[in-house]
Amino acid sequence: MSFARLASDIAACRLCAARFAATATAHAPRPVLWARPGARILVAGQAPGMKVHKSGKPFTDPSGDRLRDWMGVDAATFYDRDRIAILPMAFCFPGYDARGSDLPPPPDCARTWRQTLLAHLPRIELTLLVGGHAMAWHLGGKASVTARVAGWRDHAPAVFPLPHPSWRNTAWLKRNPWFEAELLPVLRARVKEVLDR
């Protein structure tokens, strides 16, 4: 199957329509796929939020600003699909629960699409695992996000586990100053190295 056909099939996916209709947001699926086969960096996220659901473009929120800062790239570079692929564990906004919290990415999405899609991205040299769901899928096991991020040297330079860049993790960043002091300079240098090739 060609990448164009696969992307078209993902855009038309309605696998979770009933699940989303039953959430507090009662929304319809809107898959957000941002990639092309020549990409060298993979940002493996969790799932789009409501702002991304509306915009159709990944990380169009404050978490995107923080992630781009962590990577040391501007928006034009970040959204260049020929250089950076942004593939969450679920392509659609999963909705909110009754308390207004984000629901987790439905596992059916990754089971259905992820392996085939990754096979169409043969030039990936660097993978950023953003959040626990992406870490669990790509690394296996059940370690905590903190343990995985603290062990980043075990996976670098090909893979960097990262906490989610959400404002909700600001307290985590303050409790773990080594993240900004030790991991981020190495990550930025690696991103630059891959993009400059």
Tokens describing residue 48: 């789009």
Alpha helical stretches, state H, 72-131: 75-78, 107-109, 115-119
Instruction: Give the span between the Cα atoms of 66 and 135, in whole angstroms.
Output: 19
Burial of 111 (0-12, 13-18, 19+ CB in 10 A): exposed
**What tens digit of pLDDT does each residue of 126-177 get?**
999 999 999 999 999 999 999 999 999 999 999 999 999 998 899 999 999 9
- How many other C-beta atoms can be found within 10 angstroms of the C-beta atom of residue 55? 15
Q: Whole-model pTM?
A: 0.95
Instruction: Give the span between the Cα atoms of 175 and 170, in whole angstroms.
Output: 9
Q: Does domain 3-196 have CATH number 3.40.605.10?
A: no
Tokens describing residue 68: 């781009």
* Residue ranges of domains in the chain: 3-196
Strand order of the sheet with strand 126-130?
Answer: 84-86, 41-44, 126-130, 159-162
**What tens digit of pLDDT does each residue of 48-99 get?**
999 999 999 999 989 999 999 999 999 999 999 999 999 999 999 999 988 8
**What tens digit of pLDDT does each residue of 1-44 get?**
899 999 999 999 999 999 999 998 999 999 999 999 999 999 99
Distance from the first to the final alpha carbon of the chain: 28
